[in-house]
Amino acid sequence: MKPGRPLSLALLVCVLAAAGCATTTYRPFETRGDALFEGKGGVRAAHDGMEIWDFGDPPRRYKVLGFIDDERPGSAAQMSRLLGDVVQKARDVGGQALIQVRNQSQITGWQSVDGTAPTAVGSSATTAGTTTAMPIRRNRAQFIVIRYVD
């Protein structure tokens, strides 16, 4: 083995691990004045006590604090944490509710999954197998962080 190889292998493992992680980032909304909006209504759900509006906005006055962008692998385990991560980020910046702007999943590649089953009869052995292609997904979502105004 070459002297530089263990370091480059470790670097590759770190890069691949980072590529599989979720990123949830907040960007503040900057404007002149108060940035107050009067909502018309939409579909409301709640997660961990925070309202999340979809297909519209809350039917009351609110102030836009900023935007949350989230990108993560589209696996079931990662997707099950999406709303929890976004709600926590919104609370960290003083948000009272969220308006979902988009949530889309995209196939970014395919992974072959091989399955083999060995069979032994007497002194001979055989294997039979199948290959299945599984999609590799990437999910991107965006939310507006708001605070209600009375």
Domain ranges of the chain: 23-111+135-148
Residues in the chain: 150
Instruction: Give the integer Cα–Cα distance in Å for 107 and 149.
Output: 40
Count of alpha carbons within 13 angstroms of residue 50, beta-carbon side: 24
DSSP state of 93: T
CATH of domain 23-111+135-148: 3.30.110
Q: What is the pLDDT along the chain (150 residues), one digit of tens a residue?
A: 455 555 555 544 444 444 468 899 999 999 888 779 999 999 999 999 999 999 999 999 999 999 999 999 888 888 889 999 999 999 999 999 999 999 988 887 777 777 666 777 777 777 677 778 777 788 999 999 999 998
104: helix, strand or coil = strand
| pTM across the whole model | 0.71
10: helix, strand or coil = helix
Q: Which of 55, 57, 91, 85 is nearest to 72 (CA)?
A: 85
